[in-house]
Amino acid sequence: MQVVDLDRDAIKRGLDDGSMLVIDVREPHEYSAGHIPGAVSHPLSSFDPQAVAALVAGDGRQPVFSCAAGVRSVQALMAVQQAGLDITRHYKGGFKDWYGAGEPIE
């Protein structure tokens, strides 16, 4: 399995320049309580690699998984890679790092 850890600065740059699609794999109640601006919800509990493939293909930005602290995002990477998708990046610190640093949330 291939995992590329991204930090908060990399996420901010990717969001600022429009090159990054943040896919939040936390549960719906976590996402609705607050998420990284522009992140799309795709909960790990109902995770479908083919739906992710369609989302990524239709979007064109670099996909990056995010969760609360970087554990579930690695599980999502494992699932998509086992399904044959070339997605390797995740936000290592996750929402806890983002929120803890005082970054804006939606």
Question: For the segment 16-68, what is each residue's pLDDT rounded down to a tens digit?
Answer: 999 999 999 999 999 999 999 999 999 999 999 999 999 999 999 999 999 99
Look up the pTM and report it: 0.96
How high is the pLDDT of residue 106? 97
For the record, the structure tokens of 16 come out as 């600022």
Identify whether the C-beta of residue 11 lies closer than 8 Å to the C-beta of residue 36. yes
